[in-house]
Amino acid sequence: MEKIGLKVRARAKEALENREVDEVMGWKKGEFWYDVYPVFITEANEADDLIWDAFCVNNLSKYLIQKQKENKKVGVFLKGCDSLGFNQLLKDNRIDRDQVVIYGLPCVGMVDPEKVKKEGLNKGLLEIKRSKDEITFVTKEGEKKILGRQFDYDKCLACRYPNPVVYDELLDTEIAREVSEMDRFKDVEAIEKMSITERFEYWSNQFSKCIRCNACRNICPACSCEKCVFDNVNAGVSSKASVDSEEQFFHITRAYHVAGRCVDCGECTRVCPAGIPLDQLNHKIMKDINELYGKYDAGVDVSQDAPLVTYKLDDADSFTEHGKGGK
Amino acid sequence: MQRIGVFVCWCGTNIAGTVNIEKVIAAAGEMPGVVYAKDYQYMCSAVGQNLVKNTIKEQKLDRVVIASCSPRMHEATFRKTAKVAGLNPYLVEVANIREHCSWIHKNKEEATKKAIALTRAAVAKVALNTALIAGEIGVESRALVIGGGIAGIQTALDIAEAGYEVDIIEKSPSIGGKMAQIDKTFPTLDCSACILTPKMVDVSTHPNINIYTYSELENVKGYVGNFEVTMNQRARSVNMEKCIGCGICTDKCPSKKAKSEFEEGLRNRSAIYTPFPQAIPNVPVIDREACIKFKTGKCGLCETVCPAGAIEFSQEDTKITKKYGAIVVAIGYDIIALDKFGEYAYTNHQDVITSLEFERLTNAAGPTGGKLVRPSDHKKPKKVVFVQCVGSRDKTERGKTYCSKICCMYTAKHAMLIRDKYPDIETYVFYIDVRTPGKNFDEFHRRAVEEYGVNYIKGMVGKIFPDGEKLQVHGVDALTGDTIKIDADMVVLAAATKAKEDAEDLGRKLSISTDTNNFFTEAHPKLKPVETHCAGIYLAGACQGPKDIPETVAQASGAAAKAIGLLSKDKLVNNPCISEVDEKICSGCLACTKICPYDAITSKVITFNDHGKITKRVVAQVNKALCQGCGGCTVACRPGAIDIKGFTNKQILAEVDALCR
Amino acid sequence: MKKILKSQISQLWKRINQSYELFIPIEKDNKVNFSMWQEGDQVNLEILKTNSSPKNIIFPQTETYLQFEKNGKKINMESVGGKKEAYVLFGVRPCDVVSFNLLDNVFLREPVDRFYEERRNKGIVISMACSDPEETCFCSAFGIDPENAVEGVDVATWDMGDKILWMAQTEKGKMFTQSLKDLLKEATEEDEEACVQLKNNIKEKVKNLPLSNIDMKKIDKSMKDLFESSIWEDFSAQCLGCGSCTYVCPTCHCYDIQDFDGGKSGERFRCWDSCMFSDFTLMAHGNPRKTQKERFRQRFMHKLVYYPNNHGTYACVGCGRCIERCPVHIDMVKVIKKLGGEL
Amino acid sequence: MTRVKVIPENKKNIIDKIIEMSGENIRDCMQCGKCSAGCPASDGMDLLPHQVIRLLQLGQIDRIVESKSIWNCASCFTCAQRCPRNIDIANIMEAIRLTIIRCVGNSRLKADDVPSKVDCKMPQQAIVSGFRKYNK
Amino acid sequence: MSVEAKETVMGNKNEFEPLIVAFCCNWCSYAGADLAGTSRLSYPANVKIIRVPCSCRVNANFVLRAFQRGADGVVIAGCHPGDCHYSTGNYYTRRRFSLLTNFLEYVGIEQERFKVDWISAAEGNKFATVMNDVLEKVHRLGPNRKLRDARWKR
């Protein structure tokens, strides 16, 4: 991935030098081996700090909203899942396509620091390098190579769009990742098999972990409202209390609001401080939409209407007997 | 602090019977914001309304809740009362404690508790009501009449007389409808053409009326006062201006095999034809299935013989889009298919005919020039049997459950005409009951029996089967209990009427509903027979239910009066409970624009001061005239930036809270 | 100095549980948090930092303190809240203990917050020295030495691997140790040497932690320059405005008071609020801090400048939770260094 | 001519039993006579089917019992097929027969003396309905 | 007479009083409810009706709010697809609440508690049967404890 890192730096420098864009968004290395954070550079020389490694997991497209309010022309590096989020923001008219130059980065998968820590490999770890599926752990004592994807995020293992779906330039050759469509919603099916009390136990236990920090909402590219209903006190819909019914209300409403718009990028599960598997909620709605109204992938085709803003005369439904709807 | 007045109605004993009014008043007094609670036997009466008016003034109420019958019934009444008392009419809410409470629950204690809950919900909602001013929308002073039968003609004439422009759209090549096919009309026996054709001529010559025949309605957009209708005028292949109606082409046309719809299939017609001689417009139409030129490309004889050079094979269907203020539906009725009635042998014997075919047989302009002959061998029949209620009053799925209303009268007319013209022909009528409810109707029927000697036999026909030249009719005389056998020469079946085939999908285009028999549902069976639930769309004639000509004409004038009432206003007051966008919250995702059935929401760019920086942003905006207040957009709007006045999110949440207390 | 073998530790929990509520780091769905101990819970003392701080025990996220009932036009009110049962908080790391003291500065100053006070008095805090600090820890920058008993804790303990050394610090701690004397054995000399030995190598480890080289003096500039520093602009551009950092932070103490309208009845409660939210400190004209830059600046200025001016100590204990939980890896140390002009 | 009481009290339960057994609502019949018109066996009937239903409606069960009609009915279901009110007259006839047969000993014919009545031209329908009617 | 009234009348003190909140569309279901009233049909008094302009006006928040406030069952009644006064309103209702029905069941809420149905202005008795049927099922399920806000006292 280092080769591409050099390309990233070169491209960013070139873009800033000849004023193609006012600003470039990329990632920068921090203190620790897993610490990579988004950075906005305006000077060509700052481009040297840009990197592309196994921890550039943050989706940069959501920052475009604020940047475009300052009507800057911005260059941005987008992975596959980021580009889906970008398209969803585009569809919601939150960003203007021609104010953005997209440099596409096919992505082999990002490493989950928790999984590295779980294996205890983080002792004295300085850096992690990755090329294709071979991961090298650089520690004080020396290097260690491990083949395989056992350290990748779960969402990367199930990734269906490794290559950006929208870009102006592609900085690497496309990657092929076959993912079986069949067990895409394994997690949902497992929960659906539970009895109704088990399911309620499972979810009320998950929801009670929530500390109402809104990280899942603020990271989500489908949640881009100017003023969220939960931030709006006189919407009279919910308060900040972390009591069971408010948490239930928040999570059901959030999943319902991103219905037909969630691009399945898995960021909500990654950032949740309490570790709630929020994508299992979104997956359920995606599964239902695919079953009831035909396969729909949010963020792939901007021109296609989202399932909940269109209809067919002979739609199935899941509440009348002849509704033919899936349960 | 709000000053809410609660008025509880007894509705005689309808509410007071199962709801303890005192308890409701006591409970209402306790509710937040309520400063006055009173009850009265009949709130909707003049005394009741005065009570409200005076209390509003005395107690300086700023909101009123009426706990009475359904708001669908008297919400408008109480809003008017509030307006007269100087209170904004939209600060009134009605709690439905009759249809939804006292009439449903017998246990007094439970009904009272529910009445209190419903009143509390209304108080919670009215507390959040805002004063609304009804907006105004322009009215297109032009009416559209769908269907060119007597109903459509009468409506168009009345509206045109009132000075408004009217368009008639008729599917078949000429106006006239079923009445043009009829020979004589009951009870006065005056000739149908003599009373219809003058009206048709009036319609064709009236400056305010334009007629679109041979055309169908594609789709309707818009709302009352501003309907935008797209019509598809099918190609006649004849130039309407040039054609002088000489008829040479119809004689010379070699293809004579097509069955004439107007003659109910009793006579053939040429490929280029006018349905009947007095057709308006008297311009022929080329039936492209039957025409040899269109089928094989050879022929084209009509073009050569036409003196005016009016034939234009290249003519295409044209789409016409026009704006209308009101629409009147007058598409008439059809006769049910008799193929399922095997016992009457209609399908396999030519001499078993329907009453409409009989009308054509006895009509002077008909296939036999008015001579009554058997369609099979053109001989004069000696015995004619009429069978009533064929498919009417029938609960099986072969027929229709309702009585078709006009068969008894026209069968009496047919029998009388036969006996009058050919006294030697015996006529028998098998009936269940003879229904003659109109003016001079029963006297007409008795004349047929007494003067003209028509034999009425109370009992149905069991079976008809060909027996050599004759038709054996097996019936029963329920009064004497004898089974009867008649060998008749001809049998006329009074077949049931049904709604037009395309009535349902026309209803869907106009978003008016049809009942289980596909007749259009009127707004109220007794009080609003010519209106529909959709403002601006009216009904006339048999498309709303089986009807004879006098009633149809009466309804047509009624519908015309309603349409004129609407068109006479240059400004229409529109429903103020429409949606509104809070631009501070709207993030411009425009999901609402995709939902709106009336395309009432568009986007606009606003500039605003974002903490010192002037920034531009796309937000949604609602066209007040187009929005009908359905509320679909409010759910698509996740942050709740768009809301419906009168049914805001907070109001409904307040109602939910109040009901769950 | 007392000690107890790890093998007998479960009896200790049972004993404490008889007369106290025991809050201890418990692991559930591989997240460790302080929660009430019940038979069969999986206690995890090895983990350095619990997922969110023990602040939740003494300053709960949501606390109802007034309940009212309406009959007719009259309203009768009833004050609730506070904590009646005594409890023991075991396994608190020194940085979290210091955070308790920082919260005391806020809540126990006039006017005293009676709920907080009641919770504090009812509780016995037992700290445990950090045997193996992580790379995200920087408590040493704020003068906290993770190996020693911190001022204000009732009992300090050290995890020696097979046994736990136990030393009461305050009167309450002594009384509590007294009540457990049948379980706690006297510590021998070797134990004390081993403890001193442990303390030293903890000190060593802390020294070469990546983030230990912070010099807080560099940010003792005038408040005005700090306020107008240019770093807030680019830092806040990264920040998403979620509340993770504030809700896992042991020292954040801002809260909002809201009412629950239950129709006939209802209650007034206070719940944590985050200065990062757009509707924080919502006033009649809206939130005084309109953009994310101002809100971001407020969080760090409050911890590093305003609070020290009021109370003399920094309002950060260097636990590093905000570094781990921030979705975009914004780091307190980076802010301090940038503010100090080092980076 | 003695005046007849409409639906005499004592006959009420028999009528309800017949309605319940046949599952048909005889009040639905509008006396249109179509069943009688089309009934192939109507020649031999002293009471035509619609008259039987009329008598049932009026509760005159005795006159029905005396009549031959219910026994002549060959259960060919032509009437049921054509009745515009969807009433299964054959079913009602069956119910009336059953009520009579169930009064002990009233069976019109024993099963074993049916063959003697049968000649080769008798349609199977009649034989089958004969068995059903007589041997209960 | 509601199910409970019968029981209380029969002396067995069953104090569970189910509460059903019904959102009825003004043009069809509300008129159906009126018709049920005018034809003096009976359904239990526990059903309380809120009038909305169209079934597409009902927001998922209202449903969740009703459950939070202690409603034991929520019913949404709209016009039959194709009959909507606003022509396309109930097509969206159908999609939105098909997803919500499955989602609530996924999260562990008994399916009988949330019913959506099409009731036209002429179907008074269907309105009564749907309400009786929903109440019967909810009565068997018992009070809604899963979604109810513990702070709400009825």
Chains E and B share 3 or more Cβ pairs within 8 Å: yes
A236 and B613 in contact by Cβ < 8 A?
A: no
Residue at D4 is within a domain:
no
Contact B30/C at CB under 8 A: yes
Domain with B605 in it: 579-645
Residue D84 scores a pLDDT above 50? yes
Question: What does the pLDDT read at residue B599?
Answer: 84
Task: Please tell me the distance from the alpha carbon of residue B7 to that of residue B28, in angstroms, as a whole number.
Answer: 9
Q: Name, in order, each residue with C-beta under 8 angstroms of B532's C-beta and a sequence gap of 6 or more.
A: B329, B510, B512, B520, B521, B522, B523, B538, B539
CB < 8 Å to A224, chain B: 587, 589
Cross-strand bridge partners of residue C157: C128, C166
Contact D106/B at CB under 8 A: no
The DSSP bridge pattern shows strands B383-390 and B426-431 to be: parallel
Task: Give the model confidence (pLDDT) of A181-235 as tens digits.
Answer: 888 899 999 999 999 999 999 999 999 999 999 999 999 999 999 889 998 888 8
Residue B542 scores a pLDDT above 50? yes
- Of A255-264, B650-659, E143-152, which range is least confident? E143-152
List the single best residue of E91, E93, E95 to mutate versus A (max A Cβ within 10 A).
Answer: E95
E37 and B511 in contact by Cβ < 8 A?
A: no
Task: Please tell me the distance from the alpha carbon of residue E78 to that of residue E52, in angstroms, as a whole number.
Answer: 10
Query: Which two structure tokens, joined as six digits, stand for B314?
Result: 């290249």
Q: Which amino acid belongs to residue A248?
A: Q
Question: At which residue do the structure tokens 């600046």 appear?
Answer: C297
Residue A97 has a CB neighbour count (10 Å cut-off) of 11
Residue B632: give its domain's CATH number: 3.30.70.3270
Q: Residues B74, B21: one domain?
A: yes
Distance from A222 to chain C by nearest Cα, in Å? Answer: 14
Question: What does the pLDDT read at residue D108?
Answer: 61
Question: What does the pLDDT read at residue C149?
Answer: 86
List the single best residue of B93, B99, B508, B528 to mutate versus E (max E Cβ within 10 A).
Answer: B99
Subunits in contact with chain E (3 or more CB pairs closer than 8 Å): A, B, C
Among candidates C25, C57, C31, which has minimal Cα distance to C44?
Answer: C25
Which among B590, B618, B639 is the nearest to A225, CB-wise?
Answer: B639
Q: Which whole number is the average pLDDT over B646-657?
A: 94
User: Does B558 or D14 have the greater pLDDT score?
Assistant: B558
Residue at B375 is within a domain:
yes
Reply yes or no: is the peptide bond before residue B254 cis, omega within 30 of 0.
no
Q: Which of residues 51-80 of C touch B (CB under 8 A)?
A: 72-73
B657 and C263 in contact by Cβ < 8 A?
A: yes
Degrees to nearest 5, angle at CA B23 with B22 and B28: 100
Which among E40, E96, E121 is the nearest to B635, CB-wise?
Answer: E96
Task: Please tell me the distance from the alpha carbon of residue B40 to that of residue B50, in angstroms, as a whole number.
Answer: 11
Task: Please tell me the distance from the alpha carbon of residue B140 to that of residue B572, in angstroms, as a whole number.
Answer: 10
Q: Looking at residue C286, what DSSP letter applies?
A: B
C244 and A213 in contact by Cβ < 8 A?
A: yes
Task: Please tell me the distance from the alpha carbon of residue C259 to that of residue B602, in angstroms, as a whole number.
Answer: 38
Q: Which whole number is the average pLDDT over B564-577?
A: 90
Q: What are the helix (H) ranges across B232-300? A: 248-252, 292-296
Q: Which of residues 161-190 of A touch E (CB under 8 A)?
A: 188
Residue A57 scores a pLDDT above 60? yes
Subunits in contact with chain A (3 or more CB pairs closer than 8 Å): B, C, E
Degrees to nearest 5, angle at CA B301 with B296 and B306: 140
Residue D105 scores a pLDDT above 70? no
Cross-strand bridge partners of residue B483: B476
Question: What does the pLDDT read at residue C70?
Answer: 85
C263 and B611 in contact by Cβ < 8 A?
A: no
Among candidates B558, B506, B566, which has minimal Cα distance to B536?
Answer: B566
Task: Give the model confidence (pLDDT) of B266-299 as tens digits.
Answer: 889 999 999 998 898 999 999 988 888 888 888 8
DSSP string of C175-232? Answer: HHHHHTTTTPEEPPHHHHHHHHHHHHHHHHHHHTSTT----GGGG-S-HHHHHH-THH
Residue B462 scores a pLDDT above 80? yes
H or E stretch covering C96: helix C94-107
Q: C223: pLDDT confidence band, cut at 50, 70 and 90? A: confident
Task: Please tell me the distance from the alpha carbon of residue C329 to that of residue B86, in angstroms, as a whole number.
Answer: 62
The DSSP bridge pattern shows strands C155-159 and C163-168 to be: antiparallel
Q: What are the helix (H) ranges across chain E? A: 3-9, 29-38, 60-68, 89-106, 124-141
CB < 8 Å to D48, chain B: 476, 481, 483
Q: C226: pLDDT confidence band, cut at 50, 70 and 90? A: confident
CB C275 within 8 Å of CB C341: no
Distance from E112 to chain B by nearest Cα, in Å? Answer: 19
Q: How many domains does chain D have?
A: 1
Distance from A91 to chain B by nearest Cα, in Å? Answer: 7
First-to-last C-alpha distance (Å) of chain A: 45
User: Does E9 or C165 have the greater pLDDT score?
Assistant: C165
Q: How many domains does chain B have?
A: 5
Q: Residues B441, B346: one domain?
A: yes
Query: What 3 state SS string does chain D have?
Result: CCCCCCCCHHHHHHHHHHHHHHCCCHHHCCCCCHHHHHCCCHHHCCCCHHHHHHHHHHCCHHHHHHCCHHHHCCCCCHHHHHCCCCCCHHHHHHHHHHHHHHCCCCCCCCHHHHHHHCCCCCCHHHHHHHHHHHCC
Q: Residues B339, B443: one domain?
A: yes
Residue B303 has a CB neighbour count (10 Å cut-off) of 16
Task: Give the model confidence (pLDDT) of B56-74 as tens digits.
Answer: 999 999 999 999 999 988 9
Q: Which whole number is the average pLDDT over E124-137?
A: 93
CB A208 within 8 Å of CB A244: yes
Average pLDDT, chain E: 88
CB < 8 Å to A245, chain E: 68, 147-150
Q: Which whole number is the average pLDDT over A137-148?
A: 87
List the single best residue of C74, C291, C294 to mutate versus B (max B Cβ within 10 A).
Answer: C291
Subunits in contact with chain C (3 or more CB pairs closer than 8 Å): A, B, E
Residue at D1 is within a domain:
no
**At how many degrees (to 10) do helices A279-293 and A244-257 cross?**
40
CB < 8 Å to C68, chain B: none
Q: Residues B376, B326: one domain?
A: no
Task: Please tell me the distance from the alpha carbon of residue E51 to that of residue E116, in angstroms, as a whole number.
Answer: 15
CB < 8 Å to A309, chain B: 591, 594-595, 636
Q: Residues B392, B423: one domain?
A: yes
Q: Which of residues 35-54 of D touch B (CB under 8 A)?
A: 35-39, 42-43, 47-48, 50-51
Task: Please tell me the distance from the alpha carbon of residue B149 to that of residue B200, in angstroms, as a whole number.
Answer: 9
Q: Which whole number is the average pLDDT over E96-116?
A: 94
Cross-strand bridge partners of residue B461: B475
Chains A and E share 3 or more Cβ pairs within 8 Å: yes
**Residue B47, Cα to own-chain centre: how many angstroms?**
37
Q: Which whole number is the average pLDDT over B118-126?
A: 95
C261 and B611 in contact by Cβ < 8 A?
A: no
Q: Residues B120, B64: one domain?
A: yes
CB < 8 Å to C73, chain B: 30
ipTM attached to this prediction: 0.83
Distance from B579 to chain A by nearest Cα, in Å? Answer: 16
Domain with D20 in it: 9-134
Residue A326 scores a pLDDT above 50? no
Task: Give the model confidence (pLDDT) of A282-302 as tens digits.
Answer: 999 999 999 999 999 999 999
Domains of chain E (ranges plus CATH)? 17-141 (3.40.50.960)
Residue B106: give its domain's CATH number: 3.40.50
Average pLDDT, chain C: 89
Residue D84: give its domain's CATH number: 1.10.1060
Task: Please tell me the distance from the alpha carbon of residue E64 to that of residue E69, in angstroms, as a whole number.
Answer: 9
Inter-CA distances, B489 with B242, B263, B353, B419, C330, Å: 48, 21, 11, 15, 102
User: Does D126 or A146 have the greater pLDDT score?
Assistant: A146
Task: Please tell me the distance from the alpha carbon of residue D123 to that of residue B215, in angstroms, as a whole number.
Answer: 59
Residue at D65 is within a domain:
yes
Cross-strand bridge partners of residue A125: A139
Question: What does the pLDDT read at residue C296?
Answer: 93
Subunits in contact with chain B (3 or more CB pairs closer than 8 Å): A, C, D, E
CB A176 within 8 Å of CB A160: no
H or E stretch covering B441: helix B441-450
User: Does A1 or B556 have the greater pLDDT score?
Assistant: B556
Q: Which residue of A has its CA nearest to E104?
A: A252
Contact E94/A at CB under 8 A: yes
Which SS3 state, helix, strand or coil, does residue C155 take? strand
Which SS3 state, helix, strand or coil, does residue B614 take? strand
Contact C22/A at CB under 8 A: no
Burial class (CB in 10 A: 0-12, 13-18, 19+), C46: exposed
Residue B626 scores a pLDDT above 60? yes
A213 and C274 in contact by Cβ < 8 A?
A: yes
Residue C168 scores a pLDDT above 70? yes
Question: What does the pLDDT read at residue E14?
Answer: 59
Among candidates C288, C290, C322, C286, which has minimal Cα distance to C303?
Answer: C322
- Chain A residues with CB under 8 Å of a chain B CB are 69-70, 92-94, 224-229, 232, 234-237, 257, 305-306, 308-310
CB E81 within 8 Å of CB E36: no
Q: Residues B348, B436: one domain?
A: yes
CB < 8 Å to A235, chain B: 639-640, 649-650
Average pLDDT, chain B: 92
CB D125 within 8 Å of CB D74: yes
Average pLDDT, chain A: 90
3-state helix, strand, coil in chain E (%, to 5): 45, 15, 40
Q: C216: pLDDT confidence band, cut at 50, 70 and 90? A: confident
Task: Give the model confidence (pLDDT) of A81-132 as tens digits.
Answer: 999 999 999 999 999 999 999 999 999 999 999 898 888 888 888 888 888 8
Q: Looking at residue A317, what DSSP letter applies?
A: B
Residue B414: give its domain's CATH number: 3.50.50.60
- Of A30-34, D111-115, E16-20, E29-33, which range is least confident? D111-115
Among candidates B144, B162, B142, which has minimal Cα distance to B152?
Answer: B144
Q: Residues B555, B442: one domain?
A: no
Q: Which residue of C has its CA nearest to B655?
A: C263
Residue B408 scores a pLDDT above 90? yes
Q: Residues B174, B110: one domain?
A: no
Q: Residues B211, B147: one domain?
A: yes
B463 and D34 in contact by Cβ < 8 A?
A: no
Q: Residues B597, B523: one domain?
A: no
Q: E8: pLDDT confidence band, cut at 50, 70 and 90? A: very low
The DSSP bridge pattern shows strands C255-262 and C31-36 to be: unpaired
Task: Please tell me the distance from the alpha carbon of residue E36 to that of residue E51, in angstroms, as a whole number.
Answer: 15
Q: Which residue of D has its CA nearest to B392?
A: D84
CB B425 within 8 Å of CB B382: yes
Task: Please tell me the distance from the alpha carbon of residue A117 to that of residue A32, in angstroms, as a whole number.
Answer: 13
CB < 8 Å to B618, chain A: 93
Q: C287: pLDDT confidence band, cut at 50, 70 and 90? A: confident
Exposed e or buried b per residue across B316-335, where buried means at least 16 C-beta atoms within 10 angstroms of its C-beta: eeeeeebebbbbbbbbbbbb
List the single best residue of D34, D64, D77 to mutate versus B (max B Cβ within 10 A).
Answer: D34
Chains B & E: contacts with CB separation below 8 Å = 152
List the single best residue of C265, C268, C269, C271 to mutate versus E (max E Cβ within 10 A).
Answer: C265
